[in-house]
Structure 1
Amino acid sequence: MHDVIVAGAGPVGLFIANELALSGCSVLVLERDQDPHPPLKELPLGLRGLNAGSAETFYRRGLLEAAMKASGADPQRVGADPEAVEAPDPRELSHFAGMTLDVADIDTAGLPFRLPSPAMEGFMTSLDAVTTVLTERASALGVEIIRGAPVTAVSQDDSSVAVTADGQRHRARYLVGCDGGRSAVRRLAGFDFVGTDPLFTGYVAQVAFADPGQLPMGFNLTESGMFLRTPLEGHLGMMDFDGGTFDRSKPLTREHLQTVLRRVSGTDVSLDEVHLASSFTDRAMQATTYRNGRVLLAGDAAHIHSPLGGQGLNLGIGDAMNLGWKLAATLHGTAPEGLLDTYTGERHPIGAAILDWSRAQVATMDPGPNAPALRRLVHDLMRTTDGTTHVYRRTSGLFHHYDLGDSSPLVGRSAPDFRFEDGTRLGELLQAGLGVALDFTDDRILRGAAQKWQGRIRYAAGSVRNSPGLAALLVRPDGVVAWGSERPSGLAEFEAAAARWFGAADE
């Protein structure tokens, strides 16, 4: 019997599997598809964006360099100057409903405290590139992956979960469903999935245009919908506000795609060939809880929404980083009571906010007699300093906040990448998947206390560059600040915070 079965070998499932294996758990991944490199995951249809928050997550597990290399990203563009003392101004900014914004309008002084790190920006990638990097790490960590094994039955009792896939029965102490928007695990385990119905049918395709000059590059809003062209050869995206009525079980023919393209573009453009195509909608749904007994959900299995703004993959990576260490601690018997339930408590509000962000963009783009006036209003608001800064905070992935019951500015937020005088960075200390106690005082006040959680918390002491005036910090394995103190006499507070997140101290 394995410790955990993960259903789905996409980026989210593989990331969770790696988190668990990093902590010494035995993991079996069951993947529905036989082919590890399906064409829909490769460029151009597999094009995705990892935001700065996801880049930071890969950095904290030692995977950033490999992910950038697989994606063809420029490390100098993604990271800060290695010798920088202060965080550079943002260089990239997502759009809102196709409205591009000027990154120079971001009020950097109003952002939470940050420090320079190798991961300061997001970058474009593909699902294939990300899954390849994560699969290689999973293999190195001893994760077992079975492909061509769709989940067909799930049952659980007080001590384990039974999963049937491809006629074989497997058992584990926990099951994590990462099997996509049409998750079999979600359905079979009885999760409620609620939300809003679609307003459009979307299409992404690789085509050959007879007359590509009729369609400008970029994101083009029209009176009937939207079409998108990128520099990737033949890459086409469309949104047709048909109420989501297209029967997505039907094959996507050249004739149908051409008809939709002519309608939304207002041209008589022709398609010579359709090499590959897929459809989607803006249906926005979310599981009411991410845990049902010994079954948990993450990624698209837990929430679906339109791809506007490129938040889906990043939301799933955040789920994986939050869940992995908590489930591992539960399996090892070191987790404090209720730790696993904080997964839903912390990630469900983040998912709900992103679903609303998606809905707001769809509403802004929805054609109709009042739509132009609404778009002009939103456009004017977005172009203000406050509006631009708000979009950056909502889409960069760097500024999510968990309410941990502490009003300190850093607590509940992603920790700045503190750099010690010897060059060691916090991101490097987190690569082992443990918590980190940072002691910035000369008298090493936390050394003895931190040793009580040896194997769960790493201890690092010394002065750091550009400290915000703190004496000590406790950082969770997911990089979130769990406790901070400006006073060099916070031992009792540290021990209470450590017990809250890492369980009872060793004698």
Structure 2
Amino acid sequence: MHDHHPPIYDVIIAGAGPVGLFLACELRLSNLSVLVLERAEDPDSPLKRLPFGMRGLSAPTLEAFYRRGLLEEFVAAQRAEDAASKTATHTHWNQQPRRPAGHFAGIQFYHDDIDITKWPYRLPSPAGTSVAVALETLETVLARRACSLGAEIQRGFGVEDFLASDDGVSVRAGEKTFRGRWLVGCDGGRSSIRKAGGFEFVGTDPEFTGYSVEVEITGPDALRPGRHYTPTGMYTYARPGTIAMVEFDGGAFHRLQPITLEHVQAVLRRVSGTDVTLTHLRSATTWTDRAYQVTAYRKGRVLLAGDAAHIHSPLGGQGLNLGIGDAMNLGWKLASTIRGDAPAGLLDSYQAERHPVGMGILDWSRAQVALMRPTPSTRALEAVIRDLIGTRDGATYFAERVWGVSLRYDLGGSHPLVGRSVPDFELVDGTKVGSLLREGNGLLLDFDRSASLEALSSGWRKRVTYVAGDAKDRLGLRAVLVRPDGVVAWTSESAADDEEAVQAISRWFGEPEDAGGSAR
């Protein structure tokens, strides 16, 4: 007998990039059935390897991976990759006397200028503030984790169209139809889910075409290594043949025709002002500073995350981090909604929290473009920003933004920690809070071991882990409620107010389990 009824998945995810794979991991923590559909038959691509595949991971991303027990895997996998390819030191910013901490429109700031005492609510953590990893390593580790957790990944199935109703979504990919309760588009900047769903996509059009190329050069000394602003654009060169360059042509060349050796040489000559000769084009890709965002991250049972929801230039490497942040924010909220124990409006908080963050990153990338235009007034402005970024306060401000340390959701609490990432409190027994979030539950940290707090939290014990015990540095707090995504939802500085604690837990975790808050 053949079963003619295909399975109905809790969630179908379009796209097996880092965002789709990490979201699949998050949903599997709640035992939901998850299908990931990916257009590409083979995940392998030279653009995912070094040097072009290098991605800087910011503090919120590193914290997300640390809290889910993934960080050590990434670091080990990247070390092995670096050792095998010997490329770890090829980038021009690794060959400097001072340790660079990031850049804004190519203007670097340095670790020794940053004043970390300005961030009193950050405690030492294995997560750190920035790490570089190859996209290939990232996807390999995330795919392995998603599969080990029981997610299903089908490659060679690009979602073409879907039909959504009040109780589910029917998805067409190639010759096959898949059915799910919910659909999440993590299918990149040219998202077919976004287009098929008629999501409104608004923003600003490109000013330039960017090129990342690996070439062979006659006389590699014809170009000076490092980053250079010129009267016609900007280029960065690392020997022997890695070049990134920007030509202010309104994005005219991007994706319109194949990238040839002759074209790359012509652009490089225009931008660098030299008569450099290229003999071989190994690999090349183009990009622009087009900055667009959907007005709504959700339509009924269809949601968007990552580049499907927002696109911008890769300057400063914010895009991947923004997408991982979307997945970390959405996963537990969608899971709670599907399980049936979500409080009213929980899923709406995904849009309320992530849309403003996306808007801020788009503006950050636009500001960098404004500082790169090849005009005398822009060069004058760039000199002012360069002076500012070289000061202690300036470097600290830029680090805060680039590293994601300043991220805070407006959750309405009066304490400065509410809405921020939970500090990695170390309990007196040596346990770190980051390790207590692996299962994807909420946490109620009770530093005072209050019997009443323990009693009231028992109503949510399947969703909120109660942890009693003092911390080596409790930052003046007596109790802290942490959401599954590691965001502080509530704090208490005085003897815990039980009524306030109940309201805080109910706001994020719904009704107590013994009051009809059903587990599926």
Could you tell me the TM-score, scaled by structure 2's length? 0.92
Measured after TM superposition, the shift of residue 120 of structure 1 is: 1.2
Q: Determine if the alignment matches structure 1 residue 426 to structure 2 residue 428.
A: no
Q: Is the 8 A contact 1:92 1:121 kept in 2?
A: no
Distance 1:202 1:110 in 2: 35
Letter in 2 for 1:208: E
Does residue 414 in structure 1 map to residue 421 in structure 2? yes
Is residue 445–residue 488 contact of structure 1 (8 Å, CA) maintained in 2? no
Answer whether contact 2:100 2:108 (CA < 8 A) is retained.
no
> Which deviates further from its counterpart, 370-379 or 135-144?
370-379
Hey, what's the Cα distance between the residues in 2 that align with 1:449 and 1:442? 13
In the alignment, which of 140, 144, 168 is matched to residue 132 of structure 1? 140
Q: Conserved in 2, the CA contact under 8 Å of 1:5 and 1:27?
A: yes
Q: Is the 8 A contact 2:102 2:110 kept in 1?
A: no
Find out whether 1:168 has 2:176 as its counterpart.
yes
Q: Tell which deviates more after alignment, 380-389 or 314-323.
A: 380-389
| Residue 465 of structure 2 corresponds to residue 452 of structure 1 | no
Of 345, 352, 362, which residue of structure 2 is paired with 1:345?
Answer: 352
Q: Which residue of 1 aligns with 2:219?
A: 211
**Residues of 2 paired with 1:138 and 1:467: CA distance?**
34
1:49-68 CA-to-partner distances (Å, cap 9, x unmatched) read 11222111110100000111
User: Contact (CA 8 Å) 1:22, 1:433: kept in 2 or not?
Assistant: yes
Give me the whole-angstrom Cα distance separating, in 1, the residues matched to 2:151 and 2:186. Answer: 16
Q: Which residue of 1 aligns with 2:289?
A: 282
- Aligned equivalents of 2:496 and 2:457: distance in 1? 14
Report the Cα distance in structure 1 between the residues aligned to 2:489 and 2:132, rounded to whole angstroms: 31
Describe the shift of the 1:492–1:97 C-alpha distance in structure 2 as closer, same or farther (beyond 3 A): same
Distance (Å, rounded) in 2 between the aligned partners of 1:455 and 1:272? 63
SS across alignment from 2:472? coil
Q: Does 1:403 align with 2:410?
A: yes
2:50 paired residue number: 43
Q: Hey, which bits of structure 1, 4+ residues long, moved more than 6 A?
A: none
Counterpart amino acid of residue 37 in structure 2: L
* Secondary structure in structure 1 of the residue aligned to 2:236: strand
Aligned to 1:366: 373
- How does 1:115-126 map onto structure 2 within 5 Å? 115-126=123-134
Deviation at 1:445, TM superposition (A): 3.9
The answer on whether the counterparts of 1:53 and 1:122 sit within 8 Å (CA) in structure 2 is no
Within a 5 Å distance, the mapping from 1:250-289 to structure 2 comes to 250-289=257-296
Structure 2: gaps spanning 5 or more residues: 1-7, 82-98, 515-520
Residue number in structure 2 paired with 1:88: none
> 1:93 and 2:131 equivalent?
no
Is residue 229 of structure 1 aligned with residue 240 of structure 2? Answer: no
1: distance between equivalents of 2:69 and 2:444?
19
Q: Say which of 476, 480, 494 aligns to 2:483.
A: 476
Shift of the 472–310 alpha-carbon distance from structure 1 to 2, 3 Å rule, reads same
Whether the aligned pair in 2 keeps the contact of 1:499 and 1:505 (CA below 8 Å) is: yes
Residue 142 of structure 1 corresponds to which residue in structure 2? 150
* TM-fit CA distance, 1:238: 1.1
The worse-fitting range, judged by mean Cα deviation, of 14-23 and 377-386 is 377-386
What's the CA shift for 1:73? Answer: 8.7
- In 2: Cα distance, 1:367 partner to 1:173 partner: 50
**Partner of residue 78 from structure 2, selected from 71, 75, 78:** 71
**Residues 374-393 of structure 1 correspond to what in structure 2 (within 5 A)?**
374-393=381-400
Within the candidate set 1, 9, 17, 1:2 is matched to 9
When structure 1 is superposed on structure 2, of 349-358 and 211-220 the one drifting more is: 211-220
Name 1:485's counterpart in structure 2.
Answer: 492
Amino acid at match of 2:136: D
1:235-254 matches, within 5 Å, as 235-254=242-261
Residue 177 of structure 2 aligns to a residue whose secondary structure is strand
1:82 corresponds in structure 2 to none
Q: 2:332 aligns with which of 325, 330, 334?
A: 325
| CA distances 1:323-372 after superposition (whole Å, capped 9, x unpaired) | 01100111101111110010010000000001000000000011123221
**Percent identity between the two aligned chains:** 55
- 1:312 paired with 2:310, answer no
For 1:219 and 1:427, how far apart are their aligned partners in 2? 38
Alpha-carbon distance in structure 1 between the residues aligned to 2:504 and 2:373 = 47
Q: Distance in 2 between matches of 1:340 and 1:436?
A: 20
Where 2:438 maps in the other structure, the secondary structure is helix
Equivalent residue number for residue 210 of structure 2: 202
Identify the match of residue 111 of structure 1 among 114, 119, 123. Answer: 119
Q: Which residue of 2 aligns with 1:84?
A: none
Which residue type is aligned with residue 49 of structure 1?
G
Amino acid corresponding to residue 155 of structure 2 in structure 1: R
Pairwise CA distance, 1:210: 1.9
Match of 2:3 in 1: none
Letter in 1 for 2:249: D
Give CA deviations for 1:404-449 in whole Å, capped at 9, x if unaligned: 0112110000000011111111100001111010000044442112
The reply on whether 1:192 has 2:200 as its aligned counterpart is yes
3-state SS of the aligned residue for 2:394?
helix
Amino acid at match of 1:391: F
Counterpart contact for 2:100–2:109, Cα < 8 Å: no
Q: Distance in 1 between matches of 2:508 and 2:76?
A: 35
Deviations 1:263-291 (A, max 9, x none): 11111112111111111100000000111
CA distance, structure 2, for counterparts of residue 73 and residue 469 of structure 1:
42
Q: How does 1:429-440 map to 2 (within 5 A)?
A: 429-440=436-447
SS at match of 1:94: strand
TM-score (norm 1): 0.94
Task: Tell me the distance in 2 between the aligned counterparts of 1:171 and 1:229.
Answer: 49
Give the CA deviation at 1:487. Answer: 1.4
Q: 1:271/1:195 Cα in 2 relative to 1: closer, same or farther (>3 Å)?
A: same
SS at match of 1:458: strand
Number of residue pairs matched?
491
Which AA in structure 2 matches 1:153? D
Separation in 1 of the partners of 2:274 and 2:79?
A: 35
Q: CA deviation at 1:249?
A: 2.9
- The reply to whether residue 15 of structure 1 matches residue 22 of structure 2 is yes
Letter in 1 for 2:270: R
